[in-house]
């Protein structure tokens, strides 16, 4: 066993232990944010790994400390960087005309994100546009503070606007400078991001796509919105989820990231990044892994529902 293998094995063991601990101790914040802990059934197995609604939430959120502790900021690919915490993603997209941030996360994390941006050698004050994946506090509560500190224009999918307006940390109104619609493009300094409406988790859940250059090649990058179906399932949500599962599989993808690091195995990929070799974030084979997991869970949950909801 080489040192690298040993490190990987040790990492896998530690990761397994961490998940086990998380399952036992869903954080107080998570419960406050999401209501009661989800049930421990049904269980689905996708590519050899078993998931329950509770294990998925635990995997996504981690502990209070995970939600607020910076993960080492790093380059993902091209002009895209990671500036989020251990369990809440935030992405920095750097252009010659200023930068874009996707996901402010909790308001208390804004200084954490700012520090990560600066650690990478960029200026937080260069943030010109603030986007988000979806209108839940763990992803977009910090929007007002980011705008206050940087003057960034906050843009949001129309269907998420009512939910965003209800996020008012300390009574601050949620800023929305531009309302976007499905397939609308946002362009800054030669980078274009396209907003795809992928509703279900929230009404305006937004999957962002862009293309980047690296080593003379072009790569398609997908910033996935959560595909975790809310409970209880209504016929309208069932329709939305079904459409979204279909749509995300049509998006060209070489690099997939998500609103939580667990949705693209960031921790494992980052460990590989440190070992050198090809960019581990270029992983087209796993672009739909999270969709596979969530769709299997969605179908299993639906099968447990009374027939009226199945639609």
User: Token match 């040192």: residue?
Assistant: 3
Q: At its nearest, how many Å lie between Zn ion and the CB of residue 205?
A: 8
Q: At its nearest, how many Å lie between Zn ion and the CB of residue 172?
A: 20
b or e along 199-217 (b: 16 or more beta carbons within 10 Å of the residue's beta carbon)? bbbbbbbbbbbbebebeee
For Zn ion, the closer CB: 30 or 256: 30
Residue 219 in tokens: 């790569």
Q: Which of 79, 33, 209, 230 is nearest to 131 (CA)?
A: 209
Give the x-and-dash track for 11-40 against Zn ion (CB under 5 A).
------------------------------
Binding segment (CB under 5 A) for Zn ion, from list 134-142, 208-216, 217-225, 233-241: 134-142
What is the torsional sign of CA 138, 141, 146, 147? Answer: positive
Residue 59 in the binding site for Zn ion (CB under 5 A): no
**What is the four-CA torsion angle of 236, 251, 131, 237, rounded to 10 degrees?**
10
CB 91 within 8 A of CB 84: yes
For Zn ion, the closer CB: 203 or 269: 203
For Zn ion, the closer CB: 136 or 147: 136
Q: Put the strands of the sheet holding 255-257 in their side by side order.
A: 185-188, 191-197, 206-214, 217-223, 255-257
Q: Where are the beta strands (DSSP E) in 132-188?
A: 153-157, 178-180, 185-188
For Zn ion, the closer CB: 59 or 136: 136
- One DSSP character per residue, 257-291 reads E-SSGGGGTHHHHHHHHHT-SS-TT--GGGTTHHH
Q: At its nearest, how many Å lie between Zn ion and the CB of residue 288?
A: 20
Binding segment (CB under 5 A) for Zn ion, from list 128-136, 141-149, 235-243, 245-253: 128-136
For Zn ion, the closer CB: 78 or 132: 132
Residue 136 in the binding site for Zn ion (CB under 5 A): yes
**How many binding residues for Zn ion (CB under 5 A)?**
1
Q: At its nearest, how many Å lie between Zn ion and the CB of residue 134?
A: 6
Q: Compute the distance between CA of residue 278 and CA of residue 192 in angstroms, rounded to an integer.
A: 25
For Zn ion, the closer CB: 153 or 294: 294
For Zn ion, the closer CB: 101 or 188: 101
Binding segment (CB under 5 A) for Zn ion, from list 10-18, 49-57, 117-125, 132-140: 132-140
Binding segment (CB under 5 A) for Zn ion, from list 2-10, 16-24, 103-111, 135-143: 135-143
Interface residues toward Zn ion, by CB under 5 A:
136
């Amino acid at each position: 066993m080489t040192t690298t293998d040993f490190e990987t094995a040790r990492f896998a063991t530690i990761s397994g232990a961490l998940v086990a601990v998380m399952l036992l101790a869903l954080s107080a914040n998570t419960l406050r944010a999401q209501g009661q802990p989800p049930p421990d059934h049904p269980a689905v197995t996708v590519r050899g790994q078993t998931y329950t609604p509770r294990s998925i939430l635990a995997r996504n959120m981690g502990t209070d400390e995970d939600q607020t502790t910076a993960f080492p900021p790093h380059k993902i690919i091209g002009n895209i960087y990671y500036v989020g915490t251990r369990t809440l993603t935030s992405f920095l997209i750097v252009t010659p005309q200023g930068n874009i941030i996707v996901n402010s996360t909790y308001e208390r994390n804004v200084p954490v994100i700012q520090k990560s941006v600066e650690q990478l050698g960029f200026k937080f004050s260069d943030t010109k546009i603030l986007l988000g994946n979806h209108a839940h506090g763990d992803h977009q509560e910090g929007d007002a503070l980011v705008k206050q500190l940087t003057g960034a224009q906050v843009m949001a999918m129309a269907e998420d606007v009512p939910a965003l307006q209800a996020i008012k940390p300390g009574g601050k109104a949620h800023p929305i400078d531009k309302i976007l619609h499905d397939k609308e493009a946002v362009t800054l300094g030669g980078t274009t991001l396209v907003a795809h409406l992928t509703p279900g988790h929230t009404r305006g859940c937004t999957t962002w796509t862009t293309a980047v250059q690296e080593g003379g090649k072009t790569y398609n990058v997908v910033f996935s919105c959560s595909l975790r179906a809310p409970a209880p399932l209504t016929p309208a949500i069932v329709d939305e989820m079904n459409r979204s599962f279909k749509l995300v599989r049509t998006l060209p993808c070489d690099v997939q990231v998500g609103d939580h690091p667990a949705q693209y195995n960031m921790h494992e990929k980052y460990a590989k990044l440190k070992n050198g070799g090809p960019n581990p974030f270029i992983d087209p084979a796993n672009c739909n892994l999270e969709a596979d997991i969530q769709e299997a869970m969605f179908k299993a949950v639906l099968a447990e529902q009374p027939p009226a909801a199945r639609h």
